[in-house]
Structure 1
Amino acid sequence: MTKTAQKLSAEQAYAAELDQLQQQDTAPVPPGWAMSAIAVERFICGDSALGISRKFVAEAGVVTRIILSLCTQRGILLTGSPGTAKSWLSELLAAAISRDSTQVIQGGAISNLSQLLYSWNPQLMQLQGPSQQALVSTPLYRAMRDGKILRFEEITRCPQPLQDAVLSILSERILVVPELPSAQSTLYAVAGFNIVATANSVDEGIQRMSSALKRRLSFEHIKPIRHLDDEAQVILQECNKLMAVNQIKVEPAPELIQVLATIFHELRNGQTLDGRSTDRLAGATMSTAEAVSVAHAIYTHAYYYQQSRPDATLLLHVLLGSALKDQPKDRRRLRHYVETECAERQGEYWQSLYQQRHLI
């Protein structure tokens, strides 16, 4: 039985586009990069003339500033609310610059220096002592050695001493392994190495980030998608990807995607599309990523329960799981939104929400 991967890395999923951009790239290429800064931006933001798909939606100038920071060998920290695709952007950057987005450290999963820098194989240490063969490399070590981008996810969730350990690496671009002989003890970062870190702006940990580390990183705040049509397109595109991976064959319903995008957009901003104030949920992010999950859940239900199209009555049940978290008052806010905003709106999904408001 042949099994398929649940998710391909960006460099695997978009290998054809990366190859095309590299072959047609005539702009200057920074040392250690797989392609020029212009080609990296085209890969991320898309280029219809070249047939390159848009993979990330951001305000003008955001991606350019990030790429320029990496060109100057200054690390970047992507901050923002959960679900704004910071991790996805870091993966795209690593895929385009290094053709390898797999050098990843999860800040919340490491607690000591050996997990961050390097460790030792105990059996080989007993046989031959400290040596290159006995050294167990980490993603940080491999990124420095091979000249690749290191993705440091949720950097503010790792202890501050570990954050401080990154300081000399960002400043001096070296990693010292004192256990090895002096000729082998210093690892010099190869051209192309840099760090793309992420942090949720709602996490308390971001307030405890090392001041010295802050000075060595450029900051870029990633905001939620501003325009409704862009958000609806992203939801449909990402939902189609998930359905393709899971072999779910259901015809997309544009009306459902538009309704979802509108609900998440309005509840996130606390304002309707025509400018009136409305409720804002306190316990849920109502992010684009969450909207993708809701749409995917509805399509999955339709497929496995053999419905020809997504059932409008399912929308509210799936939405409740995303909108109602740990804030009891959000239930009242969501019901008020449905009662005041859905009543006058036309369409099967809007009216189904209104008719089921008693379930909230």
Structure 2
Amino acid sequence: MTVPTTSPDHDANGGGTGRPEEAVLRPHAEQAFAAELAALAAADDRPRPPAWRLSPWAVTTYLLGGVLPDGTVISPKYVGPRRLVEVAVATLATDRALLLLGSPGTAKTWVSEHLAAAVSGRSTLLVQGTAGTAEEAIRYGWNYARLLAEGPSAAALVPSPVMSAMEQSAIARIEELTRIPSDVQDALITVLSEKTLPVPELGIEVQARQGFNVIATANDRDRGVNELSSALRRRFNTVVLPLPGSEDEEVDIVTRRVAQLGTALELPPVPAATEEIRRVVTIFRELRSGQTTDGRTRLKSPSGTLSPAEAISVVTQGIALAAHFGDGQLRPHDVAAGILGAVVKDPVADRAVWTEYLEAVVRERRDWAPFYRACREVSG
């Protein structure tokens, strides 16, 4: 899971501008963590694959965190099994592409961005997969004004992020690969197998330079939407990113991320809210697993995923309410509405699930009485 540590004021090189009016809401990974990447590069004396900015060991340290010999602290960007990260990094050093698969909210996009930033120094060569993604997003397009005026030419060609990555020895990222129509997905086969992209209109081809690779992400809930062909699947090594294994691990993830989001969004400071964060995480884990923490009560699960990403959103919203409309302390009524909105996606089935959980579980926990009353109030 993600644990970003961004500062609200960053210039294009990752340094603070000192001018809030120029602050970007969300700097790219290579900007927000430029100091960590530079420290790792300076301390990194291990072998690096061709065109990589860091060695595989340093890339893994950047993702998982650590302390360098000079005392520099590298913050964790992902909290999870080390072996998964090592396999993902090792895959990028081979001729196979990497597919990050998992439930929504398991940090696939965040891991993809940070891997690209650490390996090639840029994370912006991105294709966002949707049902409307065209083949030009994978291959190339044309500047039609120049095309009509001059005919096919190199100057009229508009490279896709994938083509740019091939030319620049970089990592291309493809988000939500299984959302892309199957015929568009197949445009990747030649790129991944032959490491070349033909441009028949110009009678040329673009050959990938050393350092090029592709990281794709997909939700395991999207299976059957646009299933990958066997030919394309063989070109990927799949790494499945799991949900947090323990409650403490998930609480730590949510706490770190909420703190950093509050800084990035310049929310008024709210004192530590560990109790409410743990409550939100407990509720989400119980509904996700279909049973209470003690295993005594079986529960129905709602239609949503209730991942750490949703927990982070609920707590961040609660902090905004507490800061702007409350007494500055995060209290049960600040998170109650957010939890209701996260759980109840289907107004009929999910509301029944939530009502049952509220009455059978929350009501019976004596120390949760203020939270129960707050939930009853917002539930109507």
Q: TM-score category by the smaller chain?
A: over 0.9
Change (3 A) 1:238 1:355: same
Tell me what 1:5 maps to: 24
Residue of 292, 312, 321 corresponding to 1:301? 321
- The answer as to 2:263 corresponding to 1:241 is no
Instruction: Summarize the alignment of residues 114-133 of structure 1 with structure 2, pairs less than 5 Å apart.
Output: 114-133=136-155
- Does the 8 Å contact 1:148/1:192 carry over to 2? yes
Tell me what 2:371 maps to: 353
Separation in 1 of the partners of 2:112 and 2:297?
34
Moved more, 108-117 or 57-66: 108-117
Residue of 244, 247, 259 corresponding to 2:279? 259
Change (3 A) 1:354 1:2: closer
- 2:296 aligns to what SS in structure 1? coil
Tell me what 2:342 maps to: 322
Change (3 A) 1:3 1:305: farther
Supply the AA of the counterpart residue of 2:373: Q
- The answer as to 2:357 corresponding to 1:337 is yes
- 2:221 aligns to what SS in structure 1? coil
Change (3 A) 1:276 1:98: farther
- Does the 8 Å contact 2:333/2:375 carry over to 1? no
Residue of 230, 253, 269 corresponding to 1:211? 230
Tell me what 2:311 maps to: 291
Moved more, 186-195 or 251-260: 251-260
Change (3 A) 1:346 1:36: farther
- Does the 8 Å contact 2:98/2:236 carry over to 1? yes
Change (3 A) 1:133 1:207: closer
Separation in 1 of the partners of 2:271 and 2:95?
46
Tell me what 2:198 maps to: 176
Deviations 1:63-116 (A, max 9, x none): 111111111121011111111111111011101101101111011064432232
Change (3 A) 1:202 1:121: same
- Does the 8 Å contact 1:266/1:278 carry over to 2? no
- Does the 8 Å contact 1:282/1:327 carry over to 2? no
Change (3 A) 1:78 1:241: same
Tell me what 1:142 maps to: 164
- The answer as to 2:92 corresponding to 1:70 is yes
- 2:106 aligns to what SS in structure 1? coil
> How far off its partner does 1:25 sit?
0.5
- 1:2 aligns to what SS in structure 2? helix
TM-score relative to the length of structure 2: 0.88
- The answer as to 2:186 corresponding to 1:164 is yes
> How far off its partner does 1:267 sit?
1.4
Supply the AA of the counterpart residue of 2:51: G
> How far off its partner does 1:204 sit?
4.1
Separation in 2 of the partners of 1:319 and 1:246?
21
Residue of 210, 219, 224 corresponding to 1:191? 210
- Does the 8 Å contact 1:335/1:357 carry over to 2? no
What is the total number of aligned residue pairs between the two structures?
Answer: 355
Tell me what 2:301 maps to: 281
Separation in 1 of the partners of 2:314 and 2:212?
37
Moved more, 145-154 or 112-121: 112-121
Supply the AA of the counterpart residue of 2:283: I
Separation in 1 of the partners of 2:56 and 2:240?
20
Separation in 2 of the partners of 1:307 and 1:156?
45
- The answer as to 2:68 corresponding to 1:46 is no
Structure 2 regions of 5+ residues with no counterpart? Answer: 1-19
Change (3 A) 1:244 1:356: closer
> How far off its partner does 1:271 sit?
2.9
Supply the AA of the counterpart residue of 1:300: A
Change (3 A) 1:119 1:207: closer
Tell me what 1:107 maps to: 129
- Percent identical residues: 37
- 2:74 aligns to what SS in structure 1? coil
Separation in 2 of the partners of 1:306 and 1:351?
19
Moved more, 138-147 or 1-10: 1-10
- 1:286 aligns to what SS in structure 2? coil
- 1:208 aligns to what SS in structure 2? coil
Change (3 A) 1:112 1:358: closer
Tell me what 1:33 maps to: 52
Moved more, 163-172 or 116-125: 116-125
- Does the 8 Å contact 1:175/1:186 carry over to 2? yes
Supply the AA of the counterpart residue of 1:352: P
Separation in 1 of the partners of 2:366 and 2:42?
50
Deviations 1:47-70 (A, max 9, x none): 145411111012241111111111
Separation in 2 of the partners of 1:346 and 1:253?
19
Deviations 1:194-213 (A, max 9, x none): 11111111114456221110
Residue of 104, 122, 137 corresponding to 1:82? 104
TM-score relative to the length of structure 1: 0.93
- Does the 8 Å contact 2:127/2:137 carry over to 1? no
Tell me what 2:40 maps to: 21
Separation in 2 of the partners of 1:291 and 1:278?
22
Separation in 2 of the partners of 1:157 and 1:32?
31
